Structure 1
Amino acid sequence: MTVLSVENLTLSYRIGRQWREVVHNVSFTLKRGEMLAFVGESGSGKTTTAQAIIGLLADNARRDSGKIVLNGEEISQWSAKRLNALRGARISLVPQDPGNSLNPVKTIGAQVGEVLHIHQKITKDEQENQVLALLTKVGLSHPEQRMKQYPHQLSGGMKQRVLIAIAIALRPDLIIADEPTSALDVTVQKRILDLLDILRRESGTAVLFVTHDLALAAQRADRLLVFRHGEVQEHGATADVVRAPQHAYTRQLLSDLQGSRLTIAPVSGQRLASAAIRAQGISKQFSLSKNHFLQALDNVSFEVPRGSTHALVGESGSGKTTLARILLGFEQADSGRVILDDIDATQLSVEARRQLRQKIQFVYQNPFASLDPRQTLFEIIEEPLKNFGKITRAERKTRVEAVTMRVALPLDLLNRTARELSGGQRQRVAIARALILEPTILVLDEATSALDVTVQAQILALLQQLQQQLGLTYLFITHDLATVRRIAHSVTVLKSGQVVEHGTVEVLFSSPQNSYTRELIDAIPHFSPATKEYA
């Protein structure tokens, strides 16, 4: 039985006074229990097509032509009121950005319970039991406590699991999952997609999976639909597309995925002798409620040699981001020491700690949210220079232009705003802003997780080039072990705030000693078209 049918869908955006067509005559069907994956680079039309299906196009977007049919009933012309009754019950959306998708003033329990309250007649106790079961089902740690918390108290990965719990609450006919696991570590990613697979088998739920992760799509989806510039380049059974791609663009995507392993330069003996980062016995506890505490970090220690890349990996809630915030001086440890470039940062005054941030800079996870949309790129990159020291406008201009060229961005982009750039260009701007103060250490928090495979390969190559040219030290925070394998020299694995394994990437991947590390590695999505196998 066909759950969804899209016929010759054409969509446009209003740019100024003009309408620009961005999705061109897209057609496909989706059957009960089937998963169809939309893949393609940022700006290819994947998300816009998905938004049109559920009636959530942006205010400056419109459907020019085409039909959308759900369970044999055309919903293209439905009013917002009719579509509201449909959402949650028959069709659900797992949005891409968990940070902006939950109500900041409602508890997690109230937000998950809301969809149950709207569509079911159940008691308060029954609703609470169902909410608890859903949060447990999606693998959220300490679900009883999480029900009472607010979104700002959860990590990005935890928020995404809450959104998935909301989406699956009523076992809808269709789930549109827009990058549903981009903020999740590999083990939770596997758990969530396994859960969607169970729903597909048991309830016949169809899944439209929008993703930039081609390996994940190839592993999970029954069929692939490859987008580029708003057009379908290729559409077919996953096995056929992966093993014998017909379109040059699909072949390029697969080539980028398989051939993007970097040749990591060894760290010199001189650099190994001196550590750029030393964390010694770091512990941190947070209060969850009057009598409940969370031990976010428990006696964590590691060192990062100068000029090397050290990866910090672990599940959401493992303490990675808390540790990074302590290193950056945004949080204070309860105990332990942080030594950066031979400076003990633990006892510094507020002003001295602020000045130390010239040595250690941060590159955020989301290039779409970390850049001010009101500023030009020149203003974004220049801003740190205004915050530290007094230099002339002419010197600021020279340094902005120099770092812009260093990250391979054309100078004529400097007068534009971030909204005019692709995801990869925005991340280059974020890297340029971090480099403008000439730091010795960069902390990169999931710096490539929001990027498609081609752009991700370009950014990783850029980071490697910058490290070799400038002698930078990287602390790479990520849940993506495939990326760790490509860029890092060494790695620390965190679980529940404790170090469970530490060593070189080669040794850790070839012979992991801890069962948790083995679980992380086993959960990495991969496929091998050459041998006609994918796992």
Structure 2
Amino acid sequence: MTVLTVEDLTLSYRTGREWREVVHHVSFTLKRGEMLAFVGESGSGKTTTAQAIMGLLADNARRDSGTILLNGEAISQWSARRLDSLRGARISLVPQDPGNSLNPVKTIGAQVGEILTLHSKISARERDEQVLALLTKVGLSHPEQRMKQFPHQLSGGMKQRVLIAIAIALQPDLIIADEPTSALDVTVQKRILDLLDRLRRESGTAVLFVTHDLALAAERADRLLVFRHGEIQEQGATADIIRAPQQAYTRQLLSDLQGHALTIAPVSGQPLALAAIRVREISKQFSLGKGHALQALDCVSFDVRRGSTHALVGESGSGKTTLARILLGFEQADSGSVMIDGIDATHLSQEARRQLRRKIQFVYQNPFASLDPRQTLFDIIEEPLKNFEPVDKAERKRRVETVVRRVALSPELLSRYAHELSGGQRQRVAIARALILEPGILVLDEATSALDVTVQAQILALLQQLQQQLGLTYLFITHDLATVRRIGHSVTVLRNGRVVEHGTVESLFAAPQDNYTRELINAIPHFSPATEEFA
């Protein structure tokens, strides 16, 4: 049975007084129990097409032509109020950005329970039982405590699992999953996608999977639909496209994917004893209220050699981001010590901690949210100079233009705003901003997770080039072990705030010592260039 049919769909966006066509004559079907993956670069039309299906196009967007049918019924002409009756019950959306998709003033339990209350007549007790079951089902740790918490108390990965719990609550006919696992580590990613697979088998739920992760799409989807510039390049059975792609663009995507298998770069000749970062027995506990506490970090220790890339890996909630915030002085550890470039950063004054940030800078996870939309790119990159160095305007201009060229952007872009740039360009701006003070250390928090595979490869190549040219030290926080294997030199694996394994990247992949590490490695979607098949 066909759940979704899209025929000759064309969509446009308004810029000023003009309408620009962004999706061109798209047609496809999706059957009961099937997963269809949209793949392609950022801006290729994937998400816009998915939004049109749910009737959630932006205010400056329109459907120019085409028909959308759900279970054979044309819904493309339905009013917004009539579509509201579908959303959640028959079509559910798992959005891309968990940070902006949950109500900040409602508890997690209330928000998951709301979908049940809207569409079914159950008692408060039954609702709470179902909420608890859903949070457990999506792998959220301490679900009874999480029900009482607010979104700001959860990590990005935890928030995404809450959104998935809301999406699957009523076992809809169709789930549209827009980058549903981009904020999740590989083990939780596997658990979530296993859950979606089980729903497909048990309930016949169809899944439209929008993703930039071609490896994940090829491993999970029955069929692929490859987008470029708003057009379908090719579509068909996953195995057929992977085995014999018909279009040059698809072949390029597969080639970029193989780049993840590159060997790790050697560390530039630095003495082994020199540590840019030294962490010793760091512990941190957070109060959850009413006598409950969460041990975020428990006696964590490791060194990061100068000029190397050290990966911090673990599930959401394992303590990775908390540790990064302690290193940057945004959080205070309960016990233990931190040395940054030879400076004891454990108990610095506020001003001394601020000055230390000239040596260590942060590159945020999401380039779509980390840049101020009201500032030009020049203002964004220049700002740290104005805060830290009293240099004249001409010198600031020279240094901004120099660092922009270093990250392979044209100085002509400096008068533009963030919304005018692609995801890859925005992340280059974020890196340029971090480099403007000439720090020796960068902390990169999931710095490529929001990017499609082609742009991701470009950013990783840029980071390697910058490291070789400038002798930079990277602390790379990620759930993507394929990326770790490509650019990492050493790695620390965290679980529930504790170190479970530490060593070189080569030794970790060749002979992992802990069962948890083996589980992480086994959860990686694996592409084998030799056979051109996904395992």
TM-score w.r.t. structure 2 length?
0.99
Query: Aligned partners of 1:139 and 1:530: how far apart in 2?
Result: 35
**Deviation >3 Å, runs of 4+:** 260-265, 268-271
Instruction: Give the 5 Å matches for 1:323-338.
Output: 323-338=323-338
Q: Is 1:243–1:530's contact at 8 Å kept on the other side of the alignment? A: no
- Return the offset for 1:526: 1.2
Aligned to 1:504: 504
1:273 maps to a residue whose letter is: A
Aligned to 1:531, what secondary structure does the other structure show?
coil
> SS in structure 1 opposite 2:216?
helix
Task: Answer yes or no: is the 8 Å Cα contact 1:218–1:527 preserved in 2.
Answer: no
Hey, what does 1:445 align to over in structure 2?
Answer: 445
Q: Is the Cα contact below 8 Å between 1:9 and 1:63 reproduced in 2?
A: yes
User: What's the counterpart of residue 24 of structure 2?
Assistant: 24
Unpaired segments ≥5 residues, structure 1: none
Match of 1:306 in 2: 306
Match of 2:222 in 1: 222
Q: What residue number does 1:68 align with? A: 68
Alpha-carbon separation, structure 2, partners of 1:152 and 1:375: 26
Check 1:464–1:269 CA distance in 2 against 1; reply closer, same or farther (3 A cut): closer
1:105-163 CA distances to partner (integer Å, 9 max, x unpaired)?
00000000000000000000000000000000000000000000000000000000000
The whole-number CA distance in structure 2 between the counterparts of 1:9 and 1:355 is 54
1:149 corresponds to = 149
Amino acid at match of 2:425: Q
Instruction: Tell me whether 1:381 sits opposite 2:381 in the alignment.
Output: yes
**Alpha-carbon distance in 2 for matches of 1:86, 1:413:** 43
**d(CA) in 2 for partners of 1:260, 1:269:** 24
Q: Distance in 2 between matches of 1:330 and 1:321?
A: 11
Indicate the residue corresponding to 1:50 in structure 2.
50
C-alpha separation in 1, matches of 2:378 and 2:41: 26
CA distance in 2, matches of 1:280, 1:392: 41
Task: Note the alpha carbon deviations across 1:245-302, whole angstroms, 9 max, x for none.
Answer: 0000000000010134445332356332210000011000000012100000000000
Q: Counterparts in 2 of 1:282-321, with a 5 A limit?
A: 282-321=282-321
Aligned match of 1:422: 422
- Residue 408 of structure 2 is matched in structure 1 by 408
Deviation of the 1:374 alpha carbon: 1.0
Could you tell me which amino acid in structure 2 is paired with residue 45 of structure 1?
G
Give the whole-Å Cα distance in 2 for the aligned partners of 1:372 and 1:224.
Answer: 35
The residue that corresponds to 2:365 in the other structure is 365
> Map of 1:487-498 to 2, 5 A cutoff?
487-498=487-498
Is the Cα–Cα contact under 8 Å of residues 276 and 341 in structure 1 kept in the other structure?
Answer: yes
Alignment correspondent of 1:517: 517
Match for residue 88 of structure 1?
Answer: 88
Task: Summarize the Cα distance change of 1:18–1:368 in structure 2 as closer, same or farther, 3 Å threshold.
Answer: same
Q: How does 1:468-483 map to 2 (within 5 A)?
A: 468-483=468-483
Q: Where does residue 163 of structure 2 map in the other structure?
A: 163
Q: In structure 2, give the amino acid aligned to 1:510.
A: A
1:173 aligns with 2:173: yes
Count of equivalent residues: 535
Give the whole-Å Cα distance in 2 for the aligned partners of 1:133 and 1:340: 44
Give the C-alpha shift of residue 68 in structure 1: 0.3
SS at match of 1:439: coil
Verify the 8 A CA contact 2:40 2:228 in the aligned structure 1: yes
Partner of 1:485: 485
* Partner residue, 1:108: 108
Cα distance between partner residues in 1 of 2:523 and 2:454: 22
Alpha-carbon distance between aligned partners in 2 of 1:379 and 1:489, rounded to the nearest angstrom: 34
* Match of residue 212 from structure 1: 212
Q: What is the CA RMSD across the aligned residues, in angstroms?
A: 0.9
Provide the rounded CA distance (Å) in 2 between the counterparts of 1:527 and 1:383: 42
Partner Cα separation in structure 1 for residue 448 and residue 530 of structure 2:
26
| Equivalence for 1:139 | 139
Could you say which residue in structure 2 is the equivalent of 1:4?
4
Q: Which amino acid in the other structure matches residue 252 of structure 1?
A: Q
Contact 2:98 2:160 in 1 (8 A): yes
- What secondary structure, in the 3-state scheme, does the structure 2 residue paired with 1:38 have? strand
**Does the CA contact (< 8 Å) of 1:243 and 1:529 recur in 2?**
no
The equivalent of 1:245 in structure 2 is: 245
Instruction: Look up the equivalent residue of 1:70 and give its one-letter code.
Output: L
Partner of 2:264: 264
- Name the CA distance, whole Å, in 1 between partners of 2:226 and 2:505: 33
Query: Is the Cα contact below 8 Å between 2:243 and 2:533 reproduced in 1?
Result: no
Q: Deviations over 1:438-468 (max 9, x none)?
A: 0000000000000011100000000000000
Supply the distance in 2 between the matched residues of 1:16 and 1:462 (Cα, whole angstroms).
Answer: 35
Supply the distance in 1 between the matched residues of 2:532 and 2:484 (Cα, whole angstroms). 25
Say which is worse superposed, 406-415 or 523-532, in terms of deviation. Answer: 523-532
Q: CA deviation at 1:37?
A: 0.1
- Local SS of the residue matching 1:209: strand
Q: Supply the distance in 2 between the matched residues of 1:84 and 1:421 (Cα, whole angstroms).
A: 33
Amino acid at match of 2:522: D
Taking only the aligned residue pairs, the percentage that are identical comes to: 85
CA distance 1:22–1:268, shift in 2 (3 Å) = closer
Task: State the secondary structure of the residue aligned to 1:270.
Answer: coil
CA deviations on 1:19-55 (whole Å, 9 max, x unpaired) are 0000000000000000000000000000000000001
Scaled by the length of structure 1, the TM-score of the pair is 0.99
CA–CA separation in structure 1 for the residues paired with 2:250 and 2:265: 30
Find the residue that maps to 1:432 and give its secondary structure: helix
